[in-house]
Structure 1
Amino acid sequence: MNEETVTYYSAEQLTKVSRLLFEAEGVPEQDAATIAEDLVAANVRGLDSHGISRMPMYLERIRKQVVNPTPNIQVESITSAVSKVDADNGMGFLAGHIAMAEAVKLAEVSGIGLVGVQRSTHYGMAAIYVMEAMKKGYISMAYTNSSPAIPPWGGKTAYLGASPFAAAVPAGNESPYVLDMAMTVIARGKIRLAATNGEAIPEGLALDDDGAPTTDAKRAFEGVCLPFGGAKGSAFAMLMELLSGVLTGANYGGNVKSLYFDHSEPQNVGHLFIAIRPDLFVSDQEFHHRMDDFVQKTKSLPKAKGFDDILIPGEPEEKTAQTRLKTGIPLSENVREELQLELERYALDVSLLS
């Protein structure tokens, strides 16, 4: 992002803008606040591709009636350790929080909680949900499928989703483990953001709609992303599809509707959440001691040439968060203009982004 073309805003300011826009489109006040906070949390952690830049897309999907602004989300008990959530085609953020809270509740009693979600939509930054469980002291994982973004290994047609996987493991005094990764070499949302900002992308990330390698972000977004690790990433993406879609009763196998290009019907995205109590095999105190010991040993290992530090997954994002909470969140001119157009559409105060 070119520093000369960005404007910095506080997290509070962007949260207010997002909340007001959702409320203007009929999302209840508390739900709008939850979604707004989640979007800006992505910006704070440096994942701008999953932050407030997605507002126009989310609002358009509500306007096109493929997202329910006032869902009646239902939780059904399956066994003592398993529940199912019907998201009623509402915003995936809401279903995600409800499902992870249910997984934690089940794990508190049974040691582990498993919650499947169907009839959901895109749920933003996956780290949100595992961090929520981690802050309550639980190990957690979040699986989701998504609209077709990558071909199966050997194919050229988008079929599998970018389907981010997230996991978190709490520690004692050291940095916790927080993983959030897409099945693509780079998150598809980052390619979309590059296209919005008129920026090129590096080689090796995507193919255009003719199946040829491209550095044109717009053509890449209209084409297919490449899986990380070649065949291994493709296989992992397939597993995400099986656990999030096939298992939960949601759409799967290329049937999840595109966020941007298909307003014909709801997405029916599937999620799977797992929460695990950390004191199942050793005491809670011993677990945290072992985690701290692991982190300390890992970070004290000899560094490879060109590296000053060995980082635990989640540390780079936490460092970015500490910086942005002080200096503000950068928005490109193109993203700022898109948001101002949305404010004008709903006759809201455009000076909120001046």
Structure 2
Amino acid sequence: MASAVAQKVSSLLGGSHDTKKLGKNGPEVTALGFGCMGLSAFYGKPKPDEERYALLDHVYKSGELFWDTADMYMDNEDLLGSWFERNPGAREKIFLATKFANYMDPKTGERSVRNDPDYIRQQCDTSLQRLKTNYIDLYYMHRADKDQPIEITVKVMKELQDAGKVKYLGLSEVSADTIRRACKVAHIDAVQMEMSPFSMEVEQEGILQACRELGVAVVAYSPLGRGEDAPTPVVPAKDFEEGDFRSFAPRFNEENFHKNLELVDTLKQIADKKGCTPGQLTLAWLMNADPLIFPIPGTTRPKNFDENMGSLKVNISKEEDQEIRKAISNTEVAGGRYPEGFASTCMVDTVPLDQYNGPHKNVMG
């Protein structure tokens, strides 16, 4: 029997093909999720609250019910919590994901990754309060502390699951080996990774293969290459407004930006032949690549959101998949995904449990 989420989505979008199972143990959720980050952080100054609430109203009414946030996205959890208060009954229909681990010292502003058990428990309770809910559908470790075994982190997450505070468990930006080790402690339902035509490490580093073996969903963040209307923004870093993360991302600096437009142009040519936009082509291609892949594009504009949702109606043939993959393989993407300091927290291997002598060694029993 379809879940309440699947029934709601199906009625609004016009068919069960618009939802699919989140990994082997998860529920039916929208095949295309909604990333909420840009409403609050990293893409310039947030819009007024009423405008943000209006967008969330639009997203909800469309039948898009797989929402993604995190404790580090400035006021994002608070925004969603307030929206839930304004919309009684909506929370139960939305599959809500949030995350912990990215910590900023309130006194110094210094950033670090925290996976220590007490911090995980504390942040889960804080997120529940901010979101004004008594459960989180999908709780991610946003980044891994390489100096703490993943087994310790997942054991604490499993405690939260057993307590009913979270329903499903997720990891983000970890290696294939870390995923396999984590699943020996508790089943991981989803792994969130950057994945787009510009970022194919999920396939190249064996992460997708590990997820296939274990029945773990791959939630693809920044599936449009950190753009809105196309797979990459149409302006270089120097033209972004103050507060936009992309202004210091290597891929968008003066040296690299224009080198990457070749792939954008090729994808546009393929999209034009299909009668869809480059963004729709990219999202449809990712969803077609494997049933385990769930892209979660974000936007602050209803028009762009509607365009993204249109990708659910775009079919990708085997020949088109090969054409897109050929374009990607023929392109050498210039510039990294993140500046060096941020990049060190991506696709992490954690220290093996049998080599760990830290303060929480005995937590494994």
TM-score, scaled to structure 2: 0.25
TM-score of the aligned structures, taking structure 1 as reference length: 0.26
